[in-house]
A and B are shown apart, each in its own frame.
Chain A
Amino acid sequence: MSGFAAVLRKDLRLELRSGESTLALLALSMLVLVVLVFALGAARVRSVDAAAGALWVAMVFAGMLGANRALLAERDNGAIRGLLLSPLDPSTLYAAKLCAAFIFMAVAEVGAVILMVLFFNLDFDASMARLAPILVLGAIGFSALATLLSAITGRTRGGDMLLPILVVPIFVPALIAGVKASAAALSGAPFESMGDWLKIMIAFDVLFVTAGYLLFEHVVGGD
């Protein structure tokens, strides 16, 4: 547990000190939302479907950026080797990295939701609270998948380019479920109507958190 806490605390400290990931995530979210608002035009700007879609596009782009950075700090000065040589269990390292990525993404999501409400002329009401579990599930799934895959792509030449190619297609089921569930939440539909979408997201999260926990030691390496 102390190893988990040490890695998580170190990652948060590095992020608080530089703010690189969170600021980049927020800036990218804002850019995507602004472009989509103008692209969709005034007629669709109050559409919850469009807002939900725009929010998830922003999240995926921002999450990708965050995922690329997840293990970047560990590649500087070969710090990943120091971690692998330490008594820290690789699956604990994965759990700490996943947790840190989730926190960065959650902060970016809060910013993205605020921007979405402003740009799409939505109301701050109870529907926003209904978005919370959907976004949390989406962030867990995306962070789990991206942390695992960034351990692979980080070892390859041009890995930054490879990560989106690998992550987005695999994330599609959770992405569709997230967009549909978010649209339902924003339109005020009953919670039961989102049930099936949420089940897909939960299944995706369980699958990739488990896969990451079990496989991380085989994919992370010193080089």
Chain B
Amino acid sequence: MSAPVVEIRNLEKTYGLAFVLREVQLRLLAGAGAFIIGGNGAGKSTLLRILAGLEAPSGGHALVFGQDTRRLAARYRRRIGLMAHQSFLYPNLTARENLEFYAELYSLADPRECAHQWLGRVGLAEVADTRVRAFSRGMEQRLSAARAMLAEPALLLLDEPFASLDHDGAEIVAALIRGAVERGACVLATTHGIPEIDGVELAVFEISRGRLMQHAHKEEGRRGGRIRSLLGR
């Protein structure tokens, strides 16, 4: 049995006296796709930031590729792609320059060609030389998806990847997620509702009052009547 990509044991996170996450357990293998649902402030984004090593847990253990996320070495960080609320993009650089910059940071073979390919994949080839500050929120979100997936990470952490996207944009990001799962990446995404992604079996978890619970199947969440497909299908 292969080692889990993500393993969380008794994870806790507090801000002051307030518990955001408590006794969180999670185990995901390579090629797994999972969505975490929950309301605003439920702790979804915090969990992703902890897994990315950008925030330290208050208790318990978060392991990625078997490594504690508090001390992720460069060779493990390079295998993680994070798409967060903030795009991590430079407004005064063009879309192409942003992707080339990140491609260089990840020492990818041909940053220019890589940026060109990804701009095509997210449907932004025509605005490749436009500065990001002129982008709409949806265009920035697509570019942010390309930035997160540029180095083809083995672990993809997506914080509300469909937010601000129109139907076409959502289709593009859904296709990228499907592609990532198909090539064996582990994908963990947060959202307010469960999206449908053709051909991908998604595990669904819910965070409520800081605790993570697994739905038996995504249909269970949909039958509950509380969750609406973000893709509108």
Contact = CB atoms under 8 A, between A and B. Distances in A.
Interface of A: 2-3, 5-7, 10, 13-14, 17-18, 73, 76-79, 81-89, 222
B49 A79 contact: no
Contact of A79 (B55, B77, B90): B90
Nearest to A83: B105
Interface in B73-122: 74-75, 77-78, 80, 82, 84-93, 97, 101-102, 104-107
A14 B74 contact: no
B54 interface: yes
Interface residues of B, number: 29
Contacts of A86: 77-78, 102, 105-106
Contacts of A76: 90-91
Contacts of A73: 90, 92
**Most chain A C-beta atoms within 10 Å of own C-beta, residue among B82, B90, B93:** B90
B10 to A, nearest CB: 24
Interface of B: 49, 52-55, 74-75, 77-78, 80, 82, 84-93, 97, 101-102, 104-107, 147
B75 A87 contact: yes
Given A2-B107, A78-B84, A82-B147, A14 B101 contact: no
B74 A81 contact: no
Contacts of A13: 93, 97
A87 B54 contact: no
B88 A77 contact: yes
Contact of B88 (A5, A17, A82): A82
Nearest to B82: A85
Contacts of A2: 104-105, 107
A74 to B, nearest CB: 9
A85 B93 contact: no
**Most chain A C-beta atoms within 10 Å of own C-beta, residue among B52, B85, B88, B107:** B88
Contacts of A83: 105
Contact of A89 (B74, B80, B104): B74
Contacts of B78: 86-87
25 contacts: A2-B104, A2-B107, A3-B105, A6-B104, A6-B105, A7-B105, A17-B92, A76-B90, A78-B86, A79-B88, A81-B82, A81-B88, A82-B82, A84-B53, A84-B54, A85-B52, A85-B53, A85-B54, A85-B80, A86-B78, A86-B102, A86-B105, A87-B78, A87-B105, A87-B107
